[in-house]
Amino acid sequence: MSEATATQQKRPRSASLDCDVVVVGAGFAGLYAIHKLTTLGFHVQAFEKGKGVGGVWYWNRYPGARCDCESYYYSYSFSPELQQAWDWSLRYSEQPEILSYLEHVAQRFDLERLIRFETAVVGAAYDDVSSAWRVTTSDGAVTMTRFLVTAAGCLSEVHWPDIPGLQSFEGRLLHTAQWPHEEVDLSGRRVGIIGTGASAVQAIPRIARQAANLTVFQRTPNWVLPARNAPASSEFTAWYKANYPQIRQRCLDSGGGVPFDPPLGAAFDVSDDERQAVYERLWAQGGMRFFTAFTDLFMSEASNETAQAFVRAHILATVRDPQTAHKLVPTDHPIGVKRPPLDDDYYETFNRENVTLVDVRTDRIEQIEPTGVRAGEAFHALDDLVMATGFDALTGAILAMDIRGRSGAKLSEKWREGPQTYMGLGVAGFPNLFTITGPLSPSVLANMPTAVEQHADWIADCLVHMRSAGLTSIEPTETAEREWTAHSDEVVSATLYPRATSSWYQGANIPGKPRRFGVYVGGFSAYRERCEAIAANGYEGFRFTAPANA
Ligand code: N01
């Protein structure tokens, strides 16, 4: 029996509505929001584009797709029974295992009955008179709801760049984020891959082992760190299962939603030898722990340069061909301020005879032709072309829906200069809209399950408060939103993040997209405390309304 059968779906509180809450998306965020809200007695209807649950873990099935956060904390904390029931096979789980986990969660908590699959939300219009959203879906249906909660993902709106001739390619054209569900056999094939972000970095070593040859088209090299992935031993599994409460608390109290030991001092507080030893130790441990080396890696150019020098030396020592090695060394951004990918075999892969690196900054992709890619002077004949070109991140999936707030105002128009939100949770002029891990929240700079639980819990508490106080609408004030947006801009401007001018964190990967740093970099724990204080102070910065006859 599922754990949720005790919770029957309630009728919506208003007879004129189809439900209390529409949740958009059934990935980590949507599944938890559905569970939490139904448990509290709200009538929920969720919509999901995919045929199944999973969100990014449903779509991103490319070879090597894996999580760059370790599974013992990249997982839900809300159910002790779930935590004890689930064993992770690897330190960093691969996509099939994470998808199985999310399917298990959906089944265990009986969530699928509340999700309409293969149905995208295409529009949502707020009705001022009834304080309700009219939600339109891809099947033409309309759903009336009091609240609209987007859990559409920070990295789900797929980016296909406009490269001349792309559609003329006659081989297999693949995108990492829309990978076919059936096995794609690349053995013996001439494969090209465009992009060297986190997805490509995971895929390139796997594809290289299968393909006859692999041509990597790189525009901007990334600083790639070792993951040190390995099977999870029974001792390790027993350890995390026995320590979940402390692990989760450490996540909540940390800047990145992760249970890492924080750095103790600045890079130049220690001698050169001591600093080198710190980097060696964290490099050996693997993963994002590398960035816990010193307090000022994201603030000081000089400190950051010490970390860059360490990784640069590794790249140059690993890649045998000096020209290729130099092409792989980033020169346009400090380490860590553009999302650093992880892998254990990335640089070594460029030592393989069957792998070629093309720097498309010097050898521009002029044209994709039916049988290959013309870059600079050379033509690269290909059977398969993999686009690892990322996403219209942070705002893309929200703006893909035609969302209209008070008086028909368009969200796309409001965000013309970049997103403006209050806490990444709500938008002035768009009452009863909540955005889980929305723009200007810590979102992608926090461990995602920790961040989505925190947001969904906050939203659920707010809806319970409104229900008990008989309130029908909530929206941020213009002042609160302006101050938060300015605060987010101010915090990031004091860091090195804006130096990564090609980063999707600031919308730079999408031609024409406004440049605003879309993630709050002030730290997850400080952000969480601020959310709690807002609620404790009567939802400070939000404005409520009650029905006219109340
Ligand atoms: O996408 P990206 P991604 N011509 O935008 C290049 C998360 N993720 O799918 O850098 C040539 O990072 C582009 O070049 P440039 C993670 O947060 C998580 O790899 O813009 N090249 C870049 O190299 C990650 O950051 C996990 O100059 C073009 C690449 O394509 C995010 O998803 C695993 C081009 C796109 O890289 C996105 O990663 C994987 C063009 N016209 C991913 N257009 C986990 O661990 C784009 N590029 C959970």
pLDDT at 547: 76
CA 227 and chain centroid, separation: 18
Ligand 1 centroid from CA 391, angstroms: 7
Q: What is the distance in angstroms between the CA of the first residue and the CA of the last residue of the chain?
A: 42
Q: Which of 59, 60, 86, 58 is closest to 74 using CA atoms?
A: 86
Mean predicted confidence (pLDDT) in 226-247: 98
pLDDT at 5: 42
If pLDDT is split at 50, 70 and 90, which confidence band does 8 have? low
| Secondary-structure breakdown of the chain: helix, strand, coil percentages, each rounded to the nearest 5 | 35, 15, 45
State which ligand 1 atom lies nearest to the alpha carbon of 360: 11
Rounded Cα distance between 430 and 294, Å, is: 41
Instruction: Please state, rounded to an integer, the average pLDDT across all residues of the chain.
Output: 96
Residue nearest to atom 46 of ligand 1 (CA): 389
State which ligand 1 atom lies nearest to the alpha carbon of 508: 20
Q: Which of 94, 168, 535 is closest to 372 using CA atoms?
A: 168
Report whether residue 368 contacts ligand 1, using a CB cutoff of 6 Å.
Answer: no
502: DSSP letter:
T
Three-state secondary structure call for residue 280: helix
pLDDT at 549: 55
Report whether residue 194 contacts ligand 1, using a CB cutoff of 6 Å.
Answer: yes
Written as six digits, the tokens of 162 are 């406009």
If pLDDT is split at 50, 70 and 90, which confidence band does 127 have? very high
- Write b or e for each residue in 422-440: b if 16 or more Cβ atoms lie within 10 A of its Cβ, otherwise e: bbbbbbbbbbbbbbbbbbb
Rounded Cα distance between 85 and 19, Å, is: 32
In this predicted model, what pLDDT tens digit does every residue of 79-98 receive, in sequence order? Answer: 999 999 999 999 999 999 99
Instruction: List all residues 6 or more positions away from 48 whose beta carbon is below 8 Å from its beta carbon.
Output: 25, 26, 30, 115, 116, 117, 118, 119
Cβ proximity of 437 and 455 under 8 Å: yes
Predicted model pTM? 0.97
Q: Which of 162, 158, 52 is closest to 107 using CA atoms?
A: 52
Report whether residue 68 contacts ligand 1, using a CB cutoff of 6 Å.
Answer: yes
State which ligand 1 atom lies nearest to the alpha carbon of 200: 19
Residue nearest to atom 38 of ligand 1 (CA): 198
If pLDDT is split at 50, 70 and 90, which confidence band does 417 have? very high
Report whether residue 199 contacts ligand 1, using a CB cutoff of 6 Å.
Answer: yes
Written as six digits, the tokens of 39 are 């448990």
Residue nearest to atom 26 of ligand 1 (CA): 67
pLDDT of 522 over the 60 cut: yes
Ligand 1 centroid from CA 245, angstroms: 34
Report whether residue 222 contacts ligand 1, using a CB cutoff of 6 Å.
Answer: no
Report whether residue 219 contacts ligand 1, using a CB cutoff of 6 Å.
Answer: yes
pLDDT of 336 over the 60 cut: yes
Residue of 93, 206, 218, 219 best suited for mutating to test ligand 1, as the one with most atoms within 8 Å of CB: 219
Mean predicted confidence (pLDDT) in 375-403: 98
pLDDT of 4 over the 50 cut: no
Three-state secondary structure call for residue 40: coil
Rounded Cα distance between 458 and 283, Å, is: 36
- The residue with tokens 């070629």 is 356
Cβ proximity of 542 and 422 under 8 Å: yes
Report whether residue 198 contacts ligand 1, using a CB cutoff of 6 Å.
Answer: yes
Instruction: List all residues 6 or more positions away from 139 whose beta carbon is below 8 Å from its beta carbon.
Output: 119
Three-state secondary structure call for residue 325: helix
What residue type is 381 in one-letter code? A
Q: In this structure, how many other beta carbons lie within 10 angstroms of the beta carbon of residue 81?
A: 9
In this predicted model, what pLDDT tens digit does every residue of 42-66 receive, in sequence order? Answer: 999 999 999 999 999 999 999 999 9
Q: In percent, how much of the chain has pLDDT > 70?
A: 98
| Distances, alpha carbon 371 to alpha carbons 167, 175, 178, 223, 532, in Å | 11, 17, 22, 32, 57
Label residue 130 left, alpha or beta by phi (over 0 means left) and psi (-120 to 50 means alpha).
Answer: alpha
Rounded Cα distance between 336 and 225, Å, is: 10
pLDDT of 35 over the 80 cut: yes
If pLDDT is split at 50, 70 and 90, which confidence band does 237 have? very high
| Distances, alpha carbon 254 to alpha carbons 77, 169, 190, 422, in Å | 15, 47, 45, 22
pLDDT of 350 over the 70 cut: yes
In this predicted model, what pLDDT tens digit does every residue of 462-474 receive, in sequence order? Answer: 999 999 999 999 9
Residue nearest to atom 11 of ligand 1 (CA): 219
Report whether residue 57 contacts ligand 1, using a CB cutoff of 6 Å.
Answer: no
Name the phi and psi angles at 39, rounded to 5. Answer: -60, -30
In this predicted model, what pLDDT tens digit does every residue of 282-295 receive, in sequence order? Answer: 999 999 999 999 99
Residue nearest to atom 16 of ligand 1 (CA): 198
Rounded Cα distance between 529 and 535, Å, is: 10
If pLDDT is split at 50, 70 and 90, which confidence band does 1 have? very low
Rounded Cα distance between 142 and 119, Å, is: 12
Q: In this structure, how many other beta carbons lie within 10 angstroms of the beta carbon of residue 233?
A: 10
Interaxial angle between packed helices 244-252 and 524-536, expressed in degrees from 0 to 180 and rounded to the nearest 10: 80
Ligand 1 centroid from CA 388, angstroms: 6
